[in-house]
Amino acid sequence: MTIAISGNGISRGIAIGPVHRLERGEIEVYEASIHADLIEDEVARFRRAVRTARQQLKAIRNSIPDSTPVDITDFIDTHLLMLEDGMLTVAPVDLIRQHQCNAEWALKIQRDTLAQVFDQMDDPYLRTRVDDVDHVVTRILRILIGENATDTPGDSLRGAIAFAHDLTPAEAALLYHQGIAGFVTESGGPLSHTAILARSLGLPAIVGTHVTPHQIRDGDTVILDGMQGMLLADVDEDTLKEYRERQRTQQKRSADLNRLRNKPAVTTDGTHIHLMANVELSDDVRAARRAGADGVGLYRTEFLFMNRDDVPGEEEQLEEYLKIVKALKGLPITIRTLDLGADKSFSAHTSEHIAPNPALGLRAIRLCLKHTELFRPQLRAILRASAKGPVHLMIPMLSNAQELNEVLHLIESVKQELQRERLAFDWNIPIGGMIEVPAAALSASLFARKLDFLSIGTNDLIQYTLAIDRIDDAVTYLYDPLHPAVLRLIRMVIDAGLHHEVPVAMCGEMAGDPRYTRLLLGMGLSDFSVHPTSLLEVKDVINRSRIDDLKTGVARILDEEDPLRIHEMVKALNEA
């Protein structure tokens, strides 16, 4: 009898192969007192473990072929950089000496401290960066307890489906180059670096499953359906045959999509759609250019401020922005100003307290307007970068006219300051705002009159509208981009942009999901900003759509009240 186990599909595709379990349980860490005479020996033991962890990661990186795209190996480089960071290498040493405790316990204390910082961040993408801290900490802990963590299983994995409690980006990259067909983990989420890596590699994967050895054993042939987030075991020949045929169809489609890389996104009735990419690091631009993006529609700047005790200065920020501008070679880039919550991740003097609910607290533009000593250097750096290429400036989480007026006044002040200093910048730099809260969507007409463009951040807009946290497993079933209230808010923003002749983009995950592309086209959206790995799929839908044929069906969808009926109508729209 077929066993069906569900999870969260983080990377599409079908994999069929034998199970290979990577047995490694969770580590239990206990506190132990260290005699004063042995404290420095314990410090030395910890430092040796860090060095060994660094050597292991370098060995993994060196084992990956040179032909591997830079944006993939960068995930391993991120962990290597964390092993150079004092937050993980110096702070635990101080704790060992201060508490006279074992290295494992000191590392756990420091990990928990960092986790609290990340938990206070409202941006779901940034919040899941704690996974990277956990991966690095776990690697050091396994070395400290004497467990082999070299992650070199051998060639027996070719064609296998790896099962693990969790996988680091380094482990996933190595397993990929050892030929695994896919992987299944108990933990992890869709925004983790491992998930992003799986999508970038085109490696089918499911996370959040709870599979016991009694259900599925080593060597069993299983089917992994990344699209449905489903794992099937003990299947009959007819089911295997059906999924192998689906697999061949998907492989052919992937090859067909690659032919679209250098083609424009144009509907069959001749409407050109701007298809941009969301990026975070300068090397992400390579993936965007490979996918044929028209530019960068969302560049997150938060990474510059994270995991440090000081605030990055104007020159440091300028250097990073210019890397992106140079890499884009004339393509436009929209730089979003700092979007962090009320935490202590970048400077003690910018945070008086830990917000009880950071989603509703001092975050994004609220934080920047309260601490202009943090905001002005970033504005200066973005403006100076605009002298070297087509840069747009975008303000996150606007909610009222007063905030907008304050921001525009501050930008004008910084411009005059730069002019007096004879520093080059684009005086007419386009300034836009993110529509992420219902109040902003309801006030979209006001914002459209004062800004050069708007960008809908659907991730937060859906969360705030439906009052749910999309990374909270207890309520994720309520996260619905097709909820009639969400669709009406999106329509209001698009209509306001059309009325005032102001471009409206969408940079949330909804924009990168091909299931919603035709709906958004029919609503009048002409600017999409998506993850580079989703770009070709969205382009394919655009190139096969006729906007005039979509408008009537979309109008009916927007008039519908029943969410289930809306889902059926959207499905029919895509099949028409």
Active site residues: 193, 507
Question: How far separated are the first and last CA of the chain, in Å rounded?
Answer: 36
Distances (CA, A) of 66 to 61, 71, 76, 79, 418: 10, 12, 14, 19, 43
What strands lie across the sheet with 3-6, from one edge to the other? Answer: 3-6, 230-233, 221-225, 14-21, 161-164, 182-185, 205-207, 8-11
Kindly give, in sequence order, each residue whose CB lies less than 8 Å from that of residue 295, ignoring residues fewer than 6 positions away.
274, 276, 277, 328, 331, 332, 333, 334, 390
Cβ-based neighbours of 101, under 8 Å, separated by 6 or more: 31, 32, 33, 34, 95
Distance set, CA 17 to CA 13, 98, 129, 182, 365 (Å): 13, 51, 31, 9, 49
Number of Cβ within 10 Å of residue 208's Cβ equals: 19
Give Cα separations from 334 to 240, 297, 388, 393 (angstroms). 46, 5, 14, 6
Bridge partner list, 335: 299, 393
Separation CA 320–CA 305 (nearest Å): 12
Q: Are 325 and 286 in contact (CB under 8 A)?
A: no
Question: What CA–CA distances, in Å, run from 423 to 334, 335, 386?
Answer: 21, 19, 11
